[in-house]
Chains A and B, each alone.
Chain A
Amino acid sequence: MLDNVVRFLSLSDANVRFVLLGSLLIGATGGLLGSFAVLRKRSLVGDALAHAALPGVAVAFMLSGSKSLPVLILGATIAGVIGVLLIQLIVNFTRIKADSAIGIVLSVFFGVGIVLLTHIQRTSAGNQSGLDKFLFGQAAAIVDDDLVVMSVLAAFIILAVLLLYKEFKVLIFDSGFMQSMGFSARLVDLALMGLIVLTVMVGLQAVGVVLIAAMLITPAVAARFWTERLHSMVLLSTVFGACSGMAGTFLSSLAPRIPTGPVMVLVATGLFCMSALFGPRRGLVARRLRERGNRQRESIHHLLRACVELEERTRKTAFPREELAGELQWPRRRLRSQVAALQRQGLLARVEGGWQLTGSGRQEGLFVVKSHRLWEHYLVYRDILTTDHVDRPADEVEHLLTPEIIADLEQLLEREQGLDVASIVDVHQGDSLYRRGGQEDG
């Protein structure tokens, strides 16, 4: 095994170089086209197409008697195109929906392929084992002639994507707009499908028809977790694909019995899981952190507001923890940790008789109180809610209002309602039951 590793990593063996370059091309083209396929919601069409290619491979072999890649790819391409057209026909002419149509074409073509393969296997005297590799893929079988074919296909695909990038982009995000600008969305869609067919063909030999769909889907979805821009998603997806291609080939070369396709797919799946966990903004961890940060900010706002309102009501400036806890209806532990957090931020200070807002703490607290009350006034003014229903929504919105929105609200309410914005009173004035709760509605 160690020999294998050394041989592989040193790249001294020409075969190894072919195989690695081949798997790089497969992964890269898959990732490239996959971005468009996934965004266009055509993820599984690639799957149907790949399965549909199997009978094409078998027929091409039966007719030509040769196992050379260009011949087999030609057969596969024709079969794949027939498969896609059949899906279209079924969806357009009958009430059978796209999912069933894909499933039907995929499984029936595959069944035909299996029948032909077993037929070849049992009847032909020649060595047909080369066809088996099209099922699960054998990257080790890539030789220099194959590499030429794959490179030509890959170069064509990349060139076509570069030329049609803008068209694809419009197609994905606003095909209606495309139509209205006088472009035929159908034609561009067809071009995209054609390129997906070619992409599948590049990977057919090394990944196999059963799993190549993953090379179109998984890297693209993984890339989606890292970016909001199409061009960086396409680039990243290409890189992810190339990495999974090469790493998969390397790993499967360590254990010769294991076909390449599944290993590539597993590497890509690993990348997907990492991306789903650690991607910025969309990743699971980032989202959890953001949620926690939001909750923390809300707690702080509620605590500051409670202090300001207590000051307003009691004319005191320092409050013991119990009083704060009562005002907020928080359990002691929560209050203690939040008070400590505010103290660290210099918003709350310990004084005789309890805790007191610092200068900056009062400033922020006043802003929150203002947001809250302005929103309450606004809801009442607009007849959206009655006074006894506005506290809860304001509780949620107060954290989100920006100074610009506040300014707008102030202007509006001052103009229309004659509200004195210098000292905004509670919309509930005189309502003695009124209580500010962080969680509970008094």
Chain B
Amino acid sequence: MVEISGTAWIIITAILAASSCALLGSFLVLRRMALLGDALSHAVLPGIAIAFFLSGSRAVLPMFLGAAVFGVITTLLVETFHRRWRVPEDASIGIVFTALFAIGVVLVSAYAGEVDLDQECVLYGEIAYTPWDVLLWEGQEYGPRPVWILGTVLVLNLLLVTAFYKELVISSFDPAMAVSVGISATLMHYVLMGAVSLTTVAAFESVGAILVVAMLIVPGAAAYLWSDNLVRILLIAVGFGVIAAVGGYYLAVVWDSSIAGAMVVVLGVIFLTSLLVAPRQGVVARMCQRLLLSMRVAQDHMLLNMVRREEVAEAWRWSRGEVERAATVWRPIARLAFGRLHRARLLTGGGGEVRLSEAGRLRGVQLLRNHRLWETYLSKLGLPPDHLHDPADAVEHFIDGDLRREIDAEVAAAQVDPQGKEIPRGE
């Protein structure tokens, strides 16, 4: 019984920590402040250490106070180095957080043993001890202390995000607009940084200073691949955090390793999966888009070149190999493209004798018209004749009805292109 409830407490703590972080982290990712979040989570260490030494215990208030002070110091120092001392921004972040973290590590190492804080705790926290860290109030036990702390922080973060949702969104996407409607972008920056400091400290005991960065950034970044809608991004991010919390615990049990580390591993897997399979943004989706595009270009080139040849030599006989070479792309793609043209009945015949069908010729003539119209248009803009072909080659695939009519009007219904070739009428 005790065993089970202990496990439950650990998982609850992990879920609370992960969702608090995921909520704020999404904004860090959107505002391109991921590295500032990284810096902050390192830099609060001396604050926590000093609070430990001064209070001699893990009292919550001094710890929050210490961390908040160093959170502000970090933000101020980075700003000062960057704006007044003219150090590049990433370099100033690097200098500030390494220096502060170094101070923290020296303090922790120097006094290790005297207080309940050591290097391991700094690195990956002690979430496994959560069930024994019980909150006592007038002799009554009220469950683990970290659960209370993280629960409070989660509620605060939720309040912050819901109460200032509009302000956060506007100042994230358009700071100038935010200022013009009376929202201080600077204030929102500091509010967000303050919230990140608090969350970092709260999560510190459970997941350590470095792994908290993963909790902050990874869920938000992964969610950003799945949706364009901010509310949905926030929900997905929190969902990913929860999955990582639960999955990480069991993974750690199986592997006999650090729980916080295992949570980050799960987050890594989630991110990698998103990176590969997310719709539109994922690598697979992008590859498919690129493949489809190059197929389309290959098809267009085949039809176009066949029509071009017909202009000068009507009785030309195309073999399949020649048609595929006319696509001027990688051969396997050309082969696929040929198949598609054939299936769409734009090409007929095969092997040594390939012919354009009526529909195929129509499409090819249209493309030729696009190409020559664009050349004429560019020539009218003043491009020299030997610079016309390549851009037209790239654009010809994307000129459809409306645009063609516009260009037509622009070049005053030209009959011949700059090389003196006839512009076919298309339709």
Contacts and interface: CB of A to CB of B under 8 A. Distances in A.
A306 interface: no
B204 to A, nearest CB: 14
B102 A266 contact: yes
Interface stretch (B29-37, B194-202, B333-341): B29-37
Interface of B: 28-29, 32-35, 37-38, 81, 85-88, 90-95, 98-99, 101-103, 105-106, 109-110, 112, 119, 123-124, 210-211, 213-214, 216-218, 220-221, 224-225, 252, 255-258, 260-265, 267-268, 271, 275, 278, 281-283, 286
A107 B210 contact: yes
A114 B214 CA distance: 13
A41 interface: yes
A44 B210 contact: no
Contact of B109 (A109, A259, A269, A272): A259
A391 interface: no
A217 B30 CA distance: 26
Nearest to A97: B32
A108 B106 contact: no
A210 B101 contact: yes
A224 to B, nearest CB: 8
B102 A269 contact: yes
Contacts of A261: 102, 105
A190 interface: no
Nearest to B36: A99
Interface in A36-86: 38, 41, 43-44, 47, 51
B257 A102 contact: no
Nearest to B255: A119
A211 interface: yes
- Most A C-beta atoms less than 10 A away, residue of B37, B38, B255: B38
- Most B C-beta atoms less than 10 A away, residue of A97, A108, A111: A111
A378 interface: no
B95 A41 contact: no
A135 B33 CA distance: 25
A221 interface: yes
A220 B264 CA distance: 33
Given A107-B211, A262-B102, A282-B86, A94 B264 contact: no
A374 to B, nearest CB: 34
A276 interface: yes
Contact of B103 (A44, A102, A108, A262): A262
A357 B220 CA distance: 71
A38 B91 CA distance: 7
A90 interface: yes
A269 B95 contact: yes
Given A112-B268, A115-B252, A269-B99, 4 more contacts: A110-B210, A111-B268, A136-B105, A218-B94
A5 to B, nearest CB: 18
Nearest to B39: A44
Nearest to A252: B106
Interface of A: 38, 41, 43-44, 47, 51, 89-90, 93-97, 99-104, 106-119, 122-123, 135-136, 210-211, 213-214, 216-218, 220-221, 224, 255, 257-259, 261-263, 265-266, 269, 272, 276, 282, 284
A211 B87 CA distance: 19
A171 B205 CA distance: 44
A47 B96 CA distance: 13
Contacts of A122: 256-257
A211 B32 contact: no
A214 B98 contact: yes
- Most A C-beta atoms less than 10 A away, residue of B93, B106, B214: B106
B41 to A, nearest CB: 9
B418 to A, nearest CB: 28
Contacts of A211: 98, 101-102, 105
Given A96-B221, A96-B225, A115-B255, A107 B32 contact: no
A38 B109 CA distance: 30
A373 to B, nearest CB: 36
Nearest to B106: A262
B243 to A, nearest CB: 15
Contacts of A263: 102, 106
A216 B90 CA distance: 12
Contacts of B35: 44, 99, 102-103
Contacts of A109: 268
26 contacts: A94-B225, A95-B224, A100-B221, A101-B221, A102-B34, A103-B216, A108-B267, A110-B210, A111-B261, A114-B123, A114-B211, A114-B257, A114-B260, A114-B261, A115-B258, A136-B105, A136-B109, A216-B94, A217-B98, A259-B105, A259-B109, A262-B103, A262-B106, A263-B106, A265-B99, A266-B99
